[in-house]
Structure 1
Amino acid sequence: MQFSGFFSAAMMMIVLSPSLQSFPPAEAIRSSHLDSYIRLPSFQVSTSPDSQDDRFSFRKAFEFRNANECGFADHETTGVCDPTLVHVAITLDVQYLRGSIAAVHSILQHSLCPENVFFHFLVSETDMETLVRSTFPQLKFKVYYFDPEIVRNLISSSVRQALEQPLNYARNYLADLLEPCVRRVIYLDSDLVFVDNISKLWSTNLRSRTIGAPEYCHANFTKYFTNSFWSDDRFSGTFRGRKPCYFNTGVMVIDLVRWRRAGFTRRIE
């Protein structure tokens, strides 16, 4: 299943400031000490264990309520297994926290039924839940700890530095981390904001596929791998004569039932 380029562009846009457009998107949404000057303090978290000054905070969000046509569902009773919920997974880490918070806010703001959205936050640090709760008091969410050691020795030294962080690979373990009753999930990177109702993405017909994701055919793979990778013909030969297309794992609709049945996590490892 592939999303069209138009659909991808309409559903999300990279969070970029005009003054930061010379940097890669991930660089543009890095959290910094400047955040404390542009948000009202409601909660503060240190971005460095050795620094007391390197802090940032987020304004408490407004309450987002369902439209009348959403109907009523007692999520408090059924919890995460409620079949009417839209499940969204996203990573939370200090370095890209600003982008993650912006993504959550944009989803709630543009959703017709924001109270039906359940967030699954993947973390490698254990102090994030208080920050989320203080920023989005009404949010339905759960925090899942991902042990970096699971993948640390599996990450190739040939990839660019930005991809060396273990939490980048937590998406491959969603089928293990999330409750078995969660049958489908939308995974999002933290450099996106939504500009439309997320239920449109949620209702994507995957047919017989396990994953739906945007296809991108203009990649410059020389920037994805190190010089040592390209100098080794065993590796670089993989791309010889092939069109530079791939599916963007930063936006995925995943059928977890099929994923678990096929054992894709173990096969990826």
Structure 2
Amino acid sequence: MLWILRFSGFFSAAVVMIILSPSIQSFPPAEAIRSSNLDGHLRFPVLLSPPDYLPQLSFRRSTAFRNADECRFSDRQTRGKTDVCDPSLVHIAITLDVEYLRGSIAAVHSILLNSLCPENVFFHFLVSETNLESLVRSTFPQLKFKVYYFDPEIVRSLISTSVRQALEQPLNYARNYLADLLETCVKRVIYLDSDLVVVDDIEKLWATDLGSRTIGAPEYCHANFTKYFTSGFWSDRRFSGNISGAEALLLSTLE
């Protein structure tokens, strides 16, 4: 049974917190590609050329965000050796693509700006393009982050064309593979859409106790499901057959 939690309204769009455990490993076999380089650089199966319009995208360099005096530091941070497996970190996953890049940059900035302990936040960027890391690093020089390549072909043939066009982008579904993409030492992560602005300390959400529940999400009562489950969806047995007889559904991509 899927449980939906009502959070206290930190965000203006969808937020999902996931405990990464073997019970929610994505559809076997796991084909998502994990970035294994821990210093923030990418390794990809193929070398892709940067698009012509990428040089036109630039952002003003952000100021450095420092922890407040009352923030706790782990032994690793004290020694200046913070890595992705540091247990004191708050883990945030967010997609990164050219079309919504401004939104992603704004989301990252809002998290750092409103965090009491911004140096304790670690970002996991999910990408299907190989040329955005340098732009993020030039905007946030001291940001703790890694970039993970998600192969869009894994899900492209599984996406129903009956839903609205914005949801046909394969990167929207990379969140379903977080348990396979991220390091095994990351047991919990907050997934954020790239079209939101955080207006409170993200660590308050991180501290939410989910109990025995695997996934928590904000309650949203204004979704028009006829936009998703259209006559075209129901007439295609490839899609409608997957939810036939289901007692509960989790729709990971809503309005």
The TM-score with structure 1 as length reference comes to 0.70
In terms of fraction of residues, the more helix-rich structure is: 1
Residue type of the alignment partner of 1:59: R
Name the count of aligned residue pairs. 210
**Aligned mate of 1:117, from 121, 126, 131:** 121
Gaps of 5+ in 2: 14-49
CA contact (8 A) 1:216 1:247 kept: no
SS at match of 1:87: strand
1:65 maps to which residue? 66
In terms of fraction of residues, the more strand-rich structure is: 1
1:49 maps to which residue? 51
SS at match of 1:194: coil
The list of structure 1 runs, each at least 4 consecutive aligned residues, that deviate by more than 4 angstroms after superposition, is 230-236, 245-248
Deviations 1:210-233 (A, max 9, x none): 001112233211222444236679
Question: How far off is 1:127 after superposition?
Answer: 0.4
1:28 maps to which residue? none
Residue type of the alignment partner of 2:12: M
Question: How far off is 1:175 after superposition?
Answer: 0.4
SS at match of 1:11: coil
CA distance in 2, matches of 1:202, 1:155: 31
SS at match of 1:171: helix
2:24 maps to which residue? none
Deviations 1:124-176 (A, max 9, x none): 00001100000000100000000111111111222221111110000000000
CA distance in 2, matches of 1:56, 1:130: 11
SS at match of 1:142: strand
**Given the superposition, is the C-alpha separation of residues 231 and 248 from structure 1 closer, same or farther in structure 2, using an over 3 Å criterion?**
closer
* Residue 157 (structure 1) aligned with residue 155 (structure 2): no
CA contact (8 A) 1:129 1:143 kept: yes
CA distance in 2, matches of 1:66, 1:108: 10
CA contact (8 A) 1:213 1:249 kept: no
CA contact (8 A) 1:2 1:213 kept: yes
Residue type of the alignment partner of 2:11: M
The CA RMSD measured in Å over matched residues stands at 2.9
SS at match of 2:83: helix
1:11 maps to which residue? 10
CA contact (8 A) 1:133 1:139 kept: yes
Deviations 1:45-101 (A, max 9, x none): xxx93558x823211111000000003333442410000000000000000001100
Aligned pairs for 1:46-195 (under 5 A) are: 49=51, 55-73=56-74, 74-75=76-77, 76-195=80-199
1:2 maps to which residue? 4
